[in-house]
Amino acid sequence: MTIKDIQDEIVDEFSMFDDWMQRYEYIIELGKNLPLIKEEYKVDENLIKGCQSKVWLQGEKDNDKIVFTADSDAILTKGIIAILIRVFSNQTPKDIIDAEMDFIDEIGLKEHLSPTRANGLVSMIKNIKMYALAFDAKK
């Protein structure tokens, strides 16, 4: 599936919810299925700055694609990073770099893009794209 297909799928899933509580409960659910980062990678170098909670993110090259794993000490943050990983993991660096992020708005998480939220969604996206840039440059 392309990044756009996965984003559309997520937008579809979220459109079934009528209120914020259901949306948040679903995010919490998604967090439980997050592909967890290996303990050995849970080090300061993999910490994402700009989050009120701790978020570790690790990207590895698998042939021409990047596979991401992550973890967080906050449940909602775990859910949000799980959504991002579902979108970006197993994609090529170029597709990741070119990806649009409008789906965040559409699933009602726009408020998390605000810098005052301090949950670092912006930093998470930036880190994912940095991995893509780095792997793309090494090609």
The backbone torsions φ and ψ at residue 115, rounded to the nearest 5 degrees and listed phi first, read -65, -25
Side-chain half-sphere of 22: how many Cα atoms within 13 Å?
8
The number of angstroms, rounded, from the C-alpha of 79 to the middle of its chain's C-alpha atoms is: 9
Among 21, 45, 100, 116, binds other proteins (CB under 8 A): 21
Among 76, 97, 101, 130, binds other proteins (CB under 8 A): 76
Residue 29 binds other proteins, judged by CB under 8 A = no
User: Cα–Cα distance between 54 and 87 in angstroms, integer?
Assistant: 21
Residue 74 binds other proteins, judged by CB under 8 A = yes
Provide the minimum distance between the beta carbon of 21 and other proteins in the complex, in angstroms, as a whole number: 7
Residue 65 binds other proteins, judged by CB under 8 A = no
Residue 24 a catalytic site member: no
